[in-house]
Amino acid sequence: MSQETINIKVMIAGRTYPLKVKAGDEASILAIVKEVNEKINRFQMTYKNKDKQDCLSMALFTYAVDLHKTHQTSNSKELSSKIGDIDQLLDQLLQ
């Protein structure tokens, strides 16, 4: 069963963007927008000589790094799990 989509407007770095989202996702998206804006604001306070576009780019980059690390961790866990499964199979075969 698909959820109903709704139209919302979000403001990121002072610009408004219209989005179509699942009704159940609205609260999460608004929380993410708030987090992104807070991160941009922290960069603006830390790097006063940078413009908003630079701060937006740096915020995006930090999210990309975090996502990459998450994927690496997930891949490592999956690999470890698969190696463990193979090890168990080998143990069963050798018994």
Looking at the 3D structure of the chain, how many domains does it have? Answer: 1
pLDDT in tens, 72-87: 888 788 878 888 878 7
Which residues touch 71 (CB under 8 Å, ≥6 apart)?
Answer: none
pLDDT in tens, 16-57: 999 999 999 999 999 999 999 999 999 999 999 999 999 999
| Residue 39: closest CA among 65, 20, 12 | 12
Most confident option among 1-5, 60-64, 77-81:
60-64
For residue 54, the enclosing domain spans 5-94
pLDDT of residue 2: 61
| This prediction's pTM | 0.72
